[in-house]
């Protein structure tokens, strides 16, 4: 139980920086004399670092063990957040985005694989709900800082201090990461495992890519969409930035209980339906109703990512799960990497009016890849 608490804390720290930039960017880019689209550049740098660390994370964890990798990685993100508080140019922000990205990938891969092998689906959903606690808490802390009359630099500094305190806890908890024997699979037919691997890998990787495009574009650009298209006051943007991630957090907490009655596939189907409703609501919303649309998109996204991860060792094999989850995380971050500058460049060229339409296009393709994945692969019980 103590180890689970530590892992949950690690995921709070993992989510803490993720939504802050998107929520404060409408104020920050004006104050620093930057362009609106520059947020996409910073997001891409962070995501590239995360892709690299996710791809090598399986080997890093095998060499240095999960506890050390987790603590050191969170320390890197604390350093990057502190750097944002003192940055005065795009170059400075870009340099401090590097440790933010590198600090995320290895721990993300390691903890997701650990939980997928050792714990039930409810724990995977709750694990990612704590990521949502961090992701929604970051913008809320920034909004609180601004409301008290401090600058956004003080907000970045406050979040870096909280991250540093979590680092201390994670270092103290390293002895808890004693080796544990993973859940043993029931007898599987080798042909089924090879077939699932062969037919399903490209489909699940495409699903992670497309899902991340939708999640990242919402988290990074939805607030700017509301400001530029719907007329939301920029001073209220930071508070709105937390609503999407609040929806994810609440949705994953609920999904942990719902997973006692429904399978991963059923949770994903329910989430996709809610996303469709949320995107339609965002497209048709006014400022007064936009909050509901953002929460709805978050609720729909909630079970999809953790359910796909939890399904990995069941659709492939325990032996391959660490490597495949590393590929899944890397592919997801590639989607995030592309989404930031893609939406930013298009925002610069033609404005953000089209944003939700492009998200709906990605959503339709995601629906197809997930349907094919679940129909062409067979789950094996652990």
Residue listed under structure tokens 């714990």: 119
Asked whether residue 184 is assigned to any structural domain, the reply reads: no
Residue 261 DSSP one-character state: T
Asked whether residue 381 is assigned to any structural domain, the reply reads: no
pLDDT at 269: 94
pTM of full prediction above 0.75: no
Cβ burial of 301 (10 Å; 0-12, 13-18, 19+) is buried
Three-state DSSP state, 5: helix
Asked whether residue 341 is assigned to any structural domain, the reply reads: yes
pLDDT at 197: 62
Residue listed under structure tokens 């988290």: 219
Nearest to 280 by CA among 219, 214, 357, 377: 357
Nearest to 103 by CA among 135, 136, 70: 70
pLDDT at 182: 47
Residue 86 DSSP one-character state: H
Asked whether residue 183 is assigned to any structural domain, the reply reads: no
pLDDT at 221: 81
CATH code for position 99: 1.20.1250.20
pLDDT at 360: 92
Average pLDDT for runs of 10 along the chain of length 382? 80 79 81 82 82 77 78 88 90 91 77 74 77 79 86 89 89 74 44 57 92 87 80 69 80 84 90 93 79 89 88 77 81 82 80 84 95 84 60
Asked whether residue 48 is assigned to any structural domain, the reply reads: yes
Q: Which domain holds residue 329?
A: 2-173+190-376
Which letter, b or e, does each residue of 233-243 get, where b requires 16 or more Cβ atoms within 10 Å of its Cβ?
Answer: ebeebbbbbbb
Tell me how crowded residue 168 is: count the other CB atoms within 10 A of its CB. Answer: 12
- Number of structural domains found in the chain: 1
Three-state DSSP state, 378: coil
pLDDT at 185: 43
Whole-number Å distance between alpha carbons of 53 and 201: 20
Asked whether residue 229 is assigned to any structural domain, the reply reads: yes
């Amino acid at each position: 139980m103590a180890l689970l608490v530590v892992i949950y804390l690690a995921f709070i720290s993992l989510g803490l920086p993720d939504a802050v930039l998107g929520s404060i960017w409408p104020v920050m880019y004006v104050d620093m004399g930057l362009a609106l689209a520059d947020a996409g550049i910073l997001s891409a740098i962070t995501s590239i670092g995360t892709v690299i660390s996710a791809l090598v994370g399986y080997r890093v964890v095998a060499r240095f063990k999960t506890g050390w990798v987790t603590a050191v990685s969170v320390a890197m993100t604390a350093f990057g957040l502190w750097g944002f508080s003192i940055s005065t140019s795009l170059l400075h922000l870009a340099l401090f985005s590097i440790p933010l990205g590198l600090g995320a990938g290895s721990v993300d891969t390691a903890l997701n694989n650990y939980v997928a092998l050792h714990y039930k689906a409810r724990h995977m959903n709750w694990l990612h709900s704590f990521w949502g606690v961090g992701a929604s808490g970051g913008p809320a802390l920034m909004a609180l800082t601004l409301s008290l009359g401090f600058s956004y630099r003080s907000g970045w500094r406050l979040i870096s201090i909280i991250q540093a305190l979590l680092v201390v806890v994670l270092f103290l908890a390293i002895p808890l990461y004693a080796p544990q024997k993973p859940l043993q699979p029931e007898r599987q037919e080798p042909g089924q495992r090879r077939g699932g691997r062969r037919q399903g890998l490209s489909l699940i990787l495409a699903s992670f890519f497309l899902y991340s495009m939708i999640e990242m574009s919402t988290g990074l650009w939805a607030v700017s969409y509301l400001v530029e298209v719907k007329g939301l006051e920029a001073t209220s943007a930071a508070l709105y930035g937390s609503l999407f991630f609040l929806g994810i957090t609440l949705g994953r907490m609920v999904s942990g209980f719902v997973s006692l009655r429904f399978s991963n596939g059923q949770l994903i189907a329910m989430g996709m339906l809610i996303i469709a409703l949320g995107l339609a609501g965002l497209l048709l919303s006014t400022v007064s109703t936009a909050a509901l649309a953002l929460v709805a998109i978050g609720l729909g996204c909630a079970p999809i990512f953790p359910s796909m991860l939890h399904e990995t060792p069941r659709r492939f094999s325990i032996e391959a799960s660490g490597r495949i989850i590393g590929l899944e995380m890397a592919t997801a971050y590639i989607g995030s990497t592309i989404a930031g500058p893609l939406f930013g460049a298009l925002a610069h060229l033609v404005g953000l009016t089209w944003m939700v339409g492009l998200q709906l296009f990605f959503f339709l393709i995601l629906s197809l890849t997930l349907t094919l994945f679940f129909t062409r692969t067979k789950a094996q019980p652990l």
